[in-house]
Chain A
C-alpha cells in the first residue's frame, strides 16, 4: 500500500494545530490514492506525543526520539527525514506551512531534486496529477499548481483552510522507532536556545475582538484596548508589533505566528494590516478598522473604517455600544 507521510510538528509539548489541519487535508488524498496515512515525529522525550498523534488518525508513527533533537535543528531534521523518506518511499510528504515547515520542506525537496507545492490552500487529485491552489500577491490572485503523482511530492499546507482533525481516543496506531541521522558536517548548524511565550488565554472563541497594534503607542495606553474589550463583552487581540513591544502577552497575537480568528466583529485599532496579520483575521464576519491612515492596507479587508486617532474614537465607540 502506498503511503502519505505527515510531518508532525510539536511546540511546548503539544502537537500544533497546523499538523491537525494537514491530517484533515490528507484524509481525502489517502482515500483517493488508497494510501495509508502515516506520521513522523522528531524530538526528545516525545513518547506520549507519538501516541497522541495516532489519536488524530495516523495509522503509524515513526518516532525519532533523541537528546540531540531536544532543540529544533532543522538540518538534523532534514538529514533524518531524507533517510526515512528513502526507506519508506511515500507518494506524498506533507507538513504545515508554519515557519518550521516552510524552512524544512524546500530543503527536503531540494535534496530529492524536486520542486514542491508551497503553502497550498486546496489540494486534490485529478487523474495522475496532484493539483493545488497557491495564493499570489498576498492573496490578491490565486495560482493553480500541478505535478505528476509518479514523482514523490512535497507539500506545505497553509493554515486556516481546513478544520483541524478531531482527537478520537478510540483510535490506535503503531509506533515505530527510527534513529536520527546526523553527519559531522551537520554540526555547522547548532541550536543555541529558544524563547517561547506560554499561552494561557484562548481568544479564538470570542465573538467580538478588540485588537490593538503599534498605533496604540505604549503599554500604558494599551489599557484602553483591554477596557473597551471588557465593556463591550469581547476579548483582546493584538498584532505581533504590540506583542513584541511587550504591551500585551503572546496569547493575544493574531496572524501567521499567532492565532487565526473568525469572530462576528473584529475591531482593528492602530493595526496597519501586514499580510502576516491579515491571514489570521481576514475571515472575520465584520471587520472595523480604526486608523489614522486612510491608505493602510487593513482597509482592503475591512468592511468599515473610521479614520482618526484610536484614543479618541475607541472610547466614543465604547460609550455608544
Chain B
C-alpha cells in the first residue's frame, strides 16, 4: 500500500496576521509557519492505514518554498517514510486550481500509488478544493470529509460526514480521500524525539515544477485584494477571578450596565 499524503505550510495560528504577508514565503521567521492543521489528520490516517495493513509506505508531498521544509520534516517526524518538496520559492503559485494541477502532475511522476490523502481544507485559503480537483485531473474516485477507512482488497469502504449523519461509500483503488478533522483520525499523533532525529537525517528531494509536465495551469479565476475586516469595537470581557458565584455576579452586573437583560425570556 503506497500512500501519498499532501501537506501544506500555512501561517501559524498564533502568528500575527498581515494581509500583505499571507504566504509562508513572505515571512522570514520559521516560528510564523505551521503545518496546515487539517493535514495532520490526513497524515494520521495514512499512518494508521499502513500500520493496520502491516505493509506499505507513506510519502508526504508538499508544494512550498524553503519555509515549508519545517512542514516536510514534521511529516517525517510524525512517521511518514519519506517526503518530496516541490520548489515554489520563486514561482509562488498559490491559486488552488494551479496547485491542484501541479500536485496531480507530481503524483503522476511518482507513479506508484494506491491512495492519495488530503486534509479536508486549509487553514489559510480554506477552499476545500484540492482532493476533488486532483481526483478529476487524475481520473480517480474520491470521497471527502472521511472519518473512517477500511481497506478490503483493492477496495475501500469509507464513512464520510454529511449534514446530520454519515454516508458510506465503496471506492475502487487507487483513490483520493480528504480526511475529516473528526472521527477516527481526530487526534493526530505527536512527533517523538527519535522520529525528529530520523527526520533531521532524512534527505528530502526537491523537485522543480518545470520537471513535472504540468501543462497550462493558469487559473481563470483569480484572488485579488486581501482585506482585514475592521477590528471588533470591544474585546471579549473575561471574568476569571474569584469563585463561580463572584464571576457570575460580575457578569450579571456588567450585562445590566449594558442594558442587556438575560432574564427577559423566562
Query: Interface of A with B (CB < 8 Å)?
Result: 11-12, 16, 71-75, 78, 98-100, 102-107, 109-111, 114-119, 134-138, 140-148, 151, 153, 187-197, 199, 207-208, 231-234, 240-241, 244, 250, 253, 257-258, 264-265, 274, 286, 288-289, 294, 299-300, 302-309, 312-313, 316-317, 320-321
A contact face: mostly helix, strand, loop, or mixed: mixed
B263 and A321: CB pair below 8 A? yes
State the CA gap A75–B143 with chains docked (Å): 10
B167 and A193: CB pair below 8 A? yes
By a CB distance below 8 angstroms, the chain A residues around B182 are 240-241, 244
In this complex, what residue of A is CB-closest to B260? Answer: A286
A320 and B249: CB pair below 8 A? yes
By a CB distance below 8 angstroms, the chain A residues around B244 are 306, 308-309, 312-313, 316
- A207: which of B95, B125, B265 is its contact (CB, 8 Å)? B265
Is B201's CB within 8 Å of the partner chain A?
no
What's the A-B contact tally at a CB cutoff of 8 Å?
Answer: 247
B221 and A116: CB pair below 8 A? yes
A194 and B252: CB pair below 8 A? no
- B169: which of A134, A144, A191, A207 is its contact (CB, 8 Å)? A191
B248 and A317: CB pair below 8 A? yes
State the CA gap A38–B65 with chains docked (Å): 44
By a CB distance below 8 angstroms, the chain A residues around B223 are 134, 143-145
- B229: which of A102, A119, A142, A196 is its contact (CB, 8 Å)? A142
A317 and B251: CB pair below 8 A? yes
Query: Interface of B with A (CB < 8 Å)?
Result: 11, 17, 19, 22, 95-97, 100, 123-129, 132-133, 135-137, 141-145, 157, 160-172, 175, 181-182, 219-229, 234, 236-240, 244-245, 247-249, 251-252, 254-255, 260, 262-266
By a CB distance below 8 angstroms, the chain A residues around B129 are 102, 106, 116, 118
B265 and A114: CB pair below 8 A? no
B262 and A305: CB pair below 8 A? no
By a CB distance below 8 angstroms, the chain B residues around A321 are 252, 262-263, 266
- B164: which of A74, A197, A288, A302 is its contact (CB, 8 Å)? A197
State the CA gap A211–B205 with chains docked (Å): 49
In this complex, what residue of B is CB-closest to A305? Answer: B238
A197 and B165: CB pair below 8 A? yes
Q: Beyond the given A72-B167, A145-B222, A321-B266, could you list 15 further A-B residue pairs with CB under 8 A, ordered by the A residue number?
A: A71-B167, A99-B145, A137-B17, A138-B126, A143-B227, A144-B226, A151-B220, A187-B172, A190-B171, A194-B165, A194-B168, A207-B265, A265-B260, A265-B262, A288-B251
State the CA gap A136–B245 with chains docked (Å): 40
In this complex, what residue of B is CB-closest to A308? Answer: B244
- A306: which of B171, B227, B247 is its contact (CB, 8 Å)? B247
By a CB distance below 8 angstroms, the chain B residues around A114 are 97, 220-221
State the CA gap A51–B136 with chains docked (Å): 33
Q: A11-B164, A194-B167, A317-B251 are in contact. Are A233 and B265 (CB under 8 A)?
A: yes
By a CB distance below 8 angstroms, the chain A residues around B255 are 286, 304
B162 and A194: CB pair below 8 A? yes
A107 and B142: CB pair below 8 A? yes
B239 and A118: CB pair below 8 A? no
Q: A98-B163, A189-B141, A195-B165 are in contact. Are A110 and B126 (CB under 8 A)?
A: no
By a CB distance below 8 angstroms, the chain B residues around A192 are 157, 167-170
Closest chain B CB from A11 CB (angstroms): 6
- B247: which of A135, A190, A313 is its contact (CB, 8 Å)? A313
State the CA gap A145–B229 with chains docked (Å): 16
State the CA gap A306–B242 with chains docked (Å): 10
State the CA gap A17–B209 with chains docked (Å): 42
